[in-house]
Amino acid sequence: MKITKNLKKVKVGYKKLVLALLFLMVAIFAFHFFLPKKISSGEDVFYQVQKGWGIREIANDLQSKGLIRSRAFFNIYAFISGKRLKLQAGLYEFSSHISVASVVNKLSSGYTVVNKVTIQEGWDLKDIQGYFENKEVYRPADFLSALTTDYTSAFDVLVDRPKGADLEGYIYPDTYNVSHDGTPDQFIKLAVSTLNKKLTPQLRQEIKNQNKTIFEIITMASILEKEVKSLEDKKIVAGVLWKRIDTGMALQVDSTVNYVTGRSDAKVAIKDTKIDSPYNTYKYTGLPKGPISNPGMDSILAAIYPKDSPYWYYLSADGTGKTIYSKTFADHSLAMVKYFR
């Protein structure tokens, strides 16, 4: 009987020991899996998983950067959670007190950090390049290199461009999400694709009915974008400019000269109107060589659907935002004296 009692005590003690060890193991795993290395709050940190890295490289790098306590427990959690082979390259944003479980879950989610970039209506390619450089999204050399790629076969909106024409006018102004590890090529395709979709079959048919090309419409729209602000003004000015082209009258648009000089003067200097450039609409009749900015949809629609008017001249009043229209050059000259004295 005494031996039996002793055996029972041993069994009870053994069970307690096993339970205690199990509890200890659970506590250790919970500690390493679910408790952050840093309890105190702080600034979020960015972490980059390089392309081609496997779980070993990721675990070693995370530990060396102090984001996790143990690469071994990182490996264990990734294995038992079934996410060991799902970790993805990219840039991720972590809180300063993230746990191993949260790290694994985030790296396997594919939700990498993205840059939200906004291309303003009326920006030209130089403006866009400078914007990306300031935001440190793309290196200038990489962006310029991507602009030299021929995307014509990918987007029919580019088909009627003259040979040698660049992508000025075709980077549709909008807000885009771009990946930190993305390329300028990906952004350009996204922006041109957006314009490709905006120009619906109905709009393209209307352009064709007018015996115009998409390139001509984009070029006119790029001028309207720089010249006037409201949709109504854009429609009226489009009517004035198309009318001038039809009659062989020079457009005499200041914004095309500014495109050559790189300035943004409300009224260009007389000497600048003498510059020999295919963009100088004071010197050469018809549309300039190509677009001078990247226009928004209002400008594109105004170029396609201009408004008839008795006007032949217009003037954007400096600082007022108002557009003054004139039927004769004499009236236009008086308006210039009044608003630009």
| Highest mean pLDDT pick, 34-43, 243-252, 308-317 | 243-252
pLDDT band of residue 224 (cuts 50, 70, 90) is: very high
CATH of 45-107, one of 3.40.50.150, 3.30.1490.480, 3.30.70.1710, 3.40.50.1950: 3.30.1490.480
Helix (H) or strand (E) holding 90: strand 90-94
| Span 295-305, pLDDT tens digits | 999 999 999 99
Q: Which pLDDT does position 266 carry in this prediction?
A: 74
Structural domain spans, the chain: 45-107, 114-198, 202-339
Q: What's the pLDDT score for residue 17?
A: 60
Indicate the SS3 state at residue 16.
helix
pLDDT of residue 93: 80
Per-residue CA distances from 315 to 11, 227, 252, 260, 331 (Å): 100, 9, 11, 20, 11
- Would you say 42 and 96 are in contact if contact means Cβ atoms under 8 Å apart? yes
What pLDDT, on the 0 to 100 scale, is given for residue 257? 96
At which residue do the structure tokens 């210039």 appear? Answer: 336
Q: In degrees, to the nearest 5, what angle opens at C-alpha 251 toward C-alphas 246 and 253?
A: 155
What's the pLDDT score for residue 190?
A: 94
Mean pLDDT of all residues in 119-135:
94
On the question of pLDDT at 218 being above 80, the answer is yes
With bands split at pLDDT 50, 70 and 90, how would you rate the model's confidence at 258? very high
C-alpha–C-alpha distance, residues 206 and 13, integer Å: 90
Mean pLDDT of 237-248: 97
Q: How many CB atoms lie within 10 A of CB 98?
A: 21
Q: What is the pLDDT of residue 248?
A: 96
Residue 22, pLDDT score: 66
Checking if the pLDDT of 270 tops 60, the result is yes
